[in-house]
Structure 1
Amino acid sequence: MSEPVTGAITGRTYSGEDWYGDELVDAVYAGCTFSDVDLTEATTRNVVFRECTFHNCRFNSSTHVSTAFIAADFRRCNFFDATLEGCKLDGSVFAECTMRPMKVLGGSWRSVTLRGAHLGGLDLSGLDLRESDLSMSDLTATVLREAKLDGATVRETTLVNADLRGASLAGVDLREASLKDTRLDLPGAVHLAEIYGAVVEP
């Protein structure tokens, strides 16, 4: 079980700990390392993890509300059936993580690195993914309606059957992605036509 947190905890290492079902509220962790920590069914609310490292951690069926993972490093973590509501993950890096199924309700994932991630079928509507790196990720049938994708990198990204209606796409080179049956609204279709060199006139 996790210890009660008062004030900010800085530079601490947690290894092999059992935080199953724990509730963390208004806590601050900075520069901490979490290795093989079990956070299954844990709940965090208004917690800040700043520049923390998470290796081989289990977030299965956990719930995170208005929690911030700023510039965090996630490696080989499992988010199976996790819920992220209004969370900020700006600048975080995910590598070899299980991220589906997962429920994402808004939030900011600006400049997040999700290279090679399997995000197929997730509903990421309204999510702020500006300047994110989605290279080689699988977004098959992913819902990205009203998402902010400005400046995102989509090199070799699979967007087959993805829903991009209402998404902002400024600076996104969709020619680098795999598109088939991808759903676009009129502004998105115009953007795609223009990057292929078409002149769109009213």
Structure 2
Amino acid sequence: MSEIIEGETFRNEDWYGEEFADRVYRGCTFLQVDLTESTTRGTVFEGCTFGNVKFNASRHTDAAFTRCTFTRCNFFEAEFTGCKLVGSTFAESALRPLRVSGGDWSFVTLPGVDLRGVTFDGVRMREVDLTGANCAEATIVDVDLSGAQLRGASLVRADLRGSDLSALDPGAVQLAGAMIDPAQAMVVAQTLGLVIQETVRR
């Protein structure tokens, strides 16, 4: 049975390299906590607040950070594998380089965040808020971006192959040099109001 911790505040804790498993944190606050090179496996954080927390080089597997708020946190070289971050918000946080494989990041709020060169692979990101985010040269492959808010985002030279681009307004984002596959090209063309017809050879 998982250990459940509710409503506690952790301040100035040094948890460098710690391993967390089978714990549930509900409504807890973490302030200036060092989680550098820590690992979480199956750990759950529900409605928690993180302020000035270091997640540098941390590894998270099958963990959940749902409805959490991250303010001025550092995720340098952090990795999330199969994690659930539904409804969480990131503000004034450093998220690069970051690698996310699988999991559910739907309804996550990332407006104006610097995501240059990050990797999202096979992630569910329905209705994610990437308004004004800088995703230049990011790898965003096989990602469900249906309903995503992308206005003002930079996707310059980003790899978008296999991702759902149905919410993409080509006129409201920067797309120069972005990589897409033929099926996505059809979707983008239709969004622009183009009529696609097969060439009739005579």
Q: Is the 8 A contact 1:30 1:52 kept in 2?
A: yes
| Equivalent residue in structure 2 for 1:163, among 154, 159, 183 | 159
Kindly indicate whether residue 5 of structure 2 is the aligned counterpart of residue 21 of structure 1: no
Partner of 1:125: 121
Aligned to 1:193, the other structure's residue is in SS state helix
- Could you list the runs of 5+ residues in structure 2 that have no partner in the other structure? none
CA offset at residue 199 of structure 1? Answer: 1.8
Q: What pairs with 1:58-69 in structure 2 (closer than 5 Å)?
A: 58-69=54-65
Cα distance in structure 2, aligned partners of 1:144 and 1:6:
34
Q: Is the 8 A contact 2:165 2:184 kept in 1?
A: yes
Q: What are the superposed Cα offsets for residues 32-88 of structure 1, whole Å, 9 maximum, x if unpaired?
A: 111111111111110000010000000111111110000110000001111111111
Aligned to 2:189, the other structure's residue is in SS state helix
| Equivalent residue in structure 2 for 1:109, among 85, 105, 108 | 105
Kindly indicate whether residue 136 of structure 2 is the aligned counterpart of residue 140 of structure 1: yes
Q: Is the 8 A contact 2:26 2:47 kept in 1?
A: yes
Cα distance in structure 2, aligned partners of 1:180 and 1:77:
30
Cα distance in structure 2, aligned partners of 1:7 and 1:121:
37
Aligned to 1:74, the other structure's residue is in SS state strand
Cα distance in structure 1, aligned partners of 2:47 and 2:169:
30
Partner of 2:44: 48
Partner of 1:11: 7
Kindly indicate whether residue 172 of structure 2 is the aligned counterpart of residue 176 of structure 1: yes
Q: Between the two proteins, what is the percent identity of the paired residues?
A: 44
**Runs of 4+ displaced beyond 2 Å:** 170-175
Q: Is the 8 A contact 1:175 1:195 kept in 2?
A: no
CA offset at residue 170 of structure 1? Answer: 2.3
CA offset at residue 174 of structure 1? Answer: 3.1
Letter in 2 for 1:70: T
Letter in 1 for 2:151: R
Partner of 1:37: 33
CA RMSD of aligned residues (A): 1.4
Cα distance in structure 1, aligned partners of 2:141 and 2:61:
21
Aligned to 2:20, the other structure's residue is in SS state strand
Aligned to 1:87, the other structure's residue is in SS state coil
Cα distance in structure 2, aligned partners of 1:89 and 1:174:
27
TM-score (norm. length: structure 2): 0.94
Cα distance in structure 2, aligned partners of 1:6 and 1:65:
16
Kindly indicate whether residue 188 of structure 2 is the aligned counterpart of residue 192 of structure 1: yes
Aligned to 2:186, the other structure's residue is in SS state helix
